[in-house]
Amino acid sequence: MSLLAGISGPEDLKKLNLKQLEQLAAELRGELVEKVSRTGGHLAPNLGIVELTLALHSVFNSPRDKIIWDVGHQSYVHKMLTGRREQFASLRQYGGLSGFPKREESPHDSFNTGHSSTSISAALGMALARDLRGERYHVIAVIGDGALTGGMAFEALNHAGHLQKDLIVILNDNEMSISSNIGGLAAYLSRLRTDPMYSRGKEELESLLHRLPPIGPKVLRLMDRLKDSLKYLVVPGMFFEELGFTYLGPIEGHNIGRLKEVLQRAARTKGPVLVHVVTTKGKGYPPAEKDPGLFHGIGPFDPATGEVLAKGGPPTYTSVFGAELVRQAEKDPRLVAITAAMPDGTGLVPFSRRFPQRFFDVGIAEQHAVTLAAGLAAAGYRPVVAVYSTFLQRAIDQVIHDVALQRLPVVLAIDRAGIVGEDGETHQGLFDLALLRPIPGLVLMVPKDEQELRHMLVTALKVEGPAALRYPRGAGVGVPLEGEAQPLPLGRAEVLREGKEAAVFALGPLVYAALEAAERLAQEGLQIAVINARFVKPLDSEVIRSWAMRTGHIITLEEHVVAGGFGSAVLEFLAAEGLKGVTVTCLGVGDNFVPHGRPSVLRQALNLTPEGIIQAVKANLESGAGAKKARPSKAVAGV
Ligand SMILES: Cc1ncc(C[n+]2csc(CCOP(=O)(O)OP(=O)(O)O)c2C)c(N)n1
């Protein structure tokens, strides 16, 4: 009989014995594989955390006790156990369950996450609020060993150790970030896991130290010192202890009984506690255990074999970027590549194989990645930082302060720019242009297709200062990838179609949607110009001015928030020029976060489709003053 069907909330778990909890773990795994094989999602992290989630909800009382999931991609089991199992078929779909914790979805989701390494800060904030109000509940942050490589996690550990508030940090250590985890801390955790000296019980060691005989005050002091240094050598987790945490572990993370015991102990311990739990990513589903990187975040697959359902179609922007980067690196020994824990996602694996010495995975540390690049550039190298748009948000100060102020030639290859889809609002790449456009001296480009991406990468590498190109997630347009990549003239747009009625300035692959819209409008007798804007900075002011004067109707298109984006740049330019009587429509994302859903569904909802463009053009033509009334200001008269 299914136990899972009888679980409507965490209180139901408290009635189960150990055997039943183990059965439930097996049922949860079956359900995870079945459901995620259809919707896609973060399978391996969730398979690894089944027992830990069961133990947490058995020992603690959510939602009174607060559990904060770092990144939040491993919260599926938590969602199933907190009344959302029935909705699981809608996971990551428009209007359905989110793949990340959402306060608006359930009182059991105490904090929204998506970007890594925030959980300890948020948990500490809640612990402070609890104590300020004199309330009593537990606050628990669950953080992976990958997320622990992020600077924010260290900042929070440092502060929490200082404050000595009651707080539980659970380190879910599976030796994996998305790829293998990296760095000194990962090596330290690995020693904790495997060295027999470290894995001796901490209690046992401490009691042994206490039993050392006290002989006279001087000797006692000496003994104390000795005890301290002994402790350093033999007490596991000394690093965390020195920060002010009580360290419990390492604990076998698939043993529910042991986990419950240790969590109960953590709940009784005063001050901050770190529980080091060792898990296997992908546990219990052989294809995911074998390739946890692939199953970290996966599209629909065949649950029987683990075969990813073939997508086919043109190569992705990511892979075209990765291949072109290798080609350029063959020619220029100064070229180096940097990723913050996303070698696969950013297409840098071929580069890392071809040039292992010139490739740097810095862990989940975007800020460090950018300043590291600045250092390399200051010392004569040509670094390319490949990063998702949403994660670059972390490192804007580093771009301004460490790169741009010194005019260092760092290339930002911004992947997953625009609508990313199923991961939802924490992952949409909708702010990069607005964040980068105000930065003096930075060249900002958007290719219309995968072939132009190649040209733009070469262009960026030629710039004697910072340059960025942003391109979308997923398959390219399917244009031929021919010939050598060629640098483009800086700040020059490309006029693709002439037209007298209005001019559409499109950015990125929306150029193709604009061409389709123009074709359909032509059938209705409306001649619309289509311009591939290419550069957000420097803006092609001549082309904008000339089409504004010729048509009096400008429509801008971007997969980005309109505020501060490309449309804003065009408006600012036209206002500064004093061009009167030009009707401008900016199509893009309004003042809202864009939720999860299939990209095609989201684009439909946002009107970023040929139909949406046709409507916008017609509305612009109807409402506008029109070309005949356009009166160029003195400044541009005669242009
Ligand atoms: C700031 C930031 N950078 C990158 C990512 C992408 N990312 C999501 S999960 C993950 C790895 C997390 O590893 P870990 O914390 O060990 O969790 P696991 O998946 O192994 O359970 C990365 C790099 C992110 N979510 N946030």
> What DSSP line would sit under 463-479, residue for residue?
-SS-EEEE--SSB----
Tell me, using a 6 A CB cutoff, whether residue 585 lines ligand 1: no
Question: What does the alpha-carbon distance between residue 263 and residue 254 come to, in Å, rounded to a whole number?
Answer: 14
Tell me, using a 6 A CB cutoff, whether residue 178 lines ligand 1: yes
Q: Give the residue from 143, 145, 173, 181 showing the smallest Cα distance to 361.
A: 181
Considering only residues 255 and 627, tell me which one the structure prediction assigns the higher pLDDT: 255
Tell me, using a 6 A CB cutoff, whether residue 115 lines ligand 1: yes
Tell me, using a 6 A CB cutoff, whether residue 69 lines ligand 1: no
Tell me, using a 6 A CB cutoff, whether residue 295 lines ligand 1: no
Question: What does the alpha-carbon distance between residue 8 and residue 120 come to, in Å, rounded to a whole number?
Answer: 28
Q: Report which DSSP code applies to 320.
A: H
pLDDT tens track for 548-586: 999 999 999 999 999 999 999 999 999 999 988 999 999
pLDDT classification of 633: cutoffs 50, 70, 90: very low
Extract the tokens encoding 304: 């029987």
State the virtual CA torsion across 481, 485, 486, 492 in degrees, nearest 10.
Answer: 60
pLDDT at 618: 97
User: What angle is formed at CA 143 by the lines to CA 142 and CA 144, rounded to 5 degrees?
Assistant: 130
Mean pLDDT of the chain: 92
Q: Give the residue from 452, 462, 464 showing the smallest Cα distance to 494.
A: 452
pLDDT classification of 597: cutoffs 50, 70, 90: very high
pLDDT at 639: 21
147 Cα nearest atom in ligand 1: 15
Whether residue 250 is preceded by a cis peptide bond, meaning omega within 30 degrees of 0, is yes
The residue behind tokens 């490192």 is 395
| pLDDT beyond 80 at 231 | no
Q: Could you tell me if 387 and 339 are in contact, meaning their C-beta atoms sit under 8 angstroms apart?
A: yes
Among the options 51, 324, 366, 425, which is catalytic? 366
β-pairing verdict for 272-278 and 246-252 = parallel
Range 368-376 average pLDDT: 98
3-state SS assignment for residue 367: helix
Global confidence as pTM: 0.93
Extract the tokens encoding 144: 């992976």
pLDDT tens track for 485-494: 999 999 999 9
Question: What does the alpha-carbon distance between residue 361 and residue 369 come to, in Å, rounded to a whole number?
Answer: 8
Give distance in angstroms: CA of 349 to centre of ligand 1.
17
CATH architecture of 494-631: 3-Layer(aba) Sandwich (3.40)
Range 587-603 average pLDDT: 97
The identity of residue 355, as a single letter, is F
| Helix (H), strand (E) at residue 553 | strand 553-561
CA distances from residue 439 to 402, 442, 467 in whole angstroms, order as listed: 12, 6, 11
| pLDDT beyond 80 at 468 | yes
| pLDDT beyond 60 at 132 | yes
The identity of residue 330, as a single letter, is E
Extract the tokens encoding 203: 């209690």
| pLDDT beyond 70 at 233 | no
Testing ligand 1's pocket by substitution, the residue of 280, 291, 342, 364 carrying the most ligand atoms inside 8 A of its CB is 364
Question: What does the alpha-carbon distance between residue 278 and residue 249 come to, in Å, rounded to a whole number?
Answer: 9
Tell me, using a 6 A CB cutoff, whether residue 364 lines ligand 1: yes
Give distance in angstroms: CA of 71 to centre of ligand 1.
6
- DSSP track, 375-418: HHHHTT-EEEEEEEHHHHGGGHHHIIIIIGGGT---EEEEES-B
Region of residue 523 (left: phi > 0; alpha: psi -120 to 50; beta: else): alpha
pLDDT classification of 177: cutoffs 50, 70, 90: confident
Range 29-46 average pLDDT: 96
177 Cα nearest atom in ligand 1: 13
pLDDT at 216: 56
Domain boundaries of the chain, sorted by first residue:
4-200+236-284, 317-470, 494-631
Q: Could you tell me if 442 and 468 are in contact, meaning their C-beta atoms sit under 8 angstroms apart?
A: yes
Percent of the chain with pLDDT over 70: 91
pLDDT tens track for 245-254: 999 989 999 9
pLDDT at 206: 55
Range 35-47 average pLDDT: 96
Tell me, using a 6 A CB cutoff, whether residue 73 lines ligand 1: yes
Question: What does the alpha-carbon distance between residue 476 and residue 488 come to, in Å, rounded to a whole number?
Answer: 20
The CATH class, in words, for 317-470 is alpha beta
Q: Give the residue from 340, 445, 447 showing the smallest Cα distance to 383.
A: 340
CA distances from residue 216 to 7, 222, 223, 231, 506 in whole angstroms, order as listed: 61, 10, 10, 21, 83
- Establish whether domains 4-200+236-284 and 494-631 are of one fold: yes
pLDDT classification of 634: cutoffs 50, 70, 90: very low
Range 285-306 average pLDDT: 95
Testing ligand 1's pocket by substitution, the residue of 116, 142, 171 carrying the most ligand atoms inside 8 A of its CB is 116
Give distance in angstroms: CA of 70 to centre of ligand 1.
8
Question: What does the alpha-carbon distance between residue 331 and residue 416 come to, in Å, rounded to a whole number?
Answer: 27
CATH architecture of 4-200+236-284: 3-Layer(aba) Sandwich (3.40)
pLDDT at 298: 94
pLDDT classification of 598: cutoffs 50, 70, 90: very high
Question: What does the alpha-carbon distance between residue 34 and residue 41 come to, in Å, rounded to a whole number?
Answer: 11
Residue located nearest, by CA, to atom 23 of ligand 1:
341
Give distance in angstroms: CA of 163 to centre of ligand 1.
27
Q: What percent of the chain is helix, strand and coil (3-state, nearest 5)?
A: 45, 15, 40
CA distances from residue 24 to 4, 27, 277, 495, 638 in whole angstroms, order as listed: 6, 5, 20, 61, 78
pLDDT at 187: 85
Helix 151-163, helix 119-133: angle, nearest 10:
30
Extract the tokens encoding 176: 């994996």
pLDDT classification of 17: cutoffs 50, 70, 90: very high
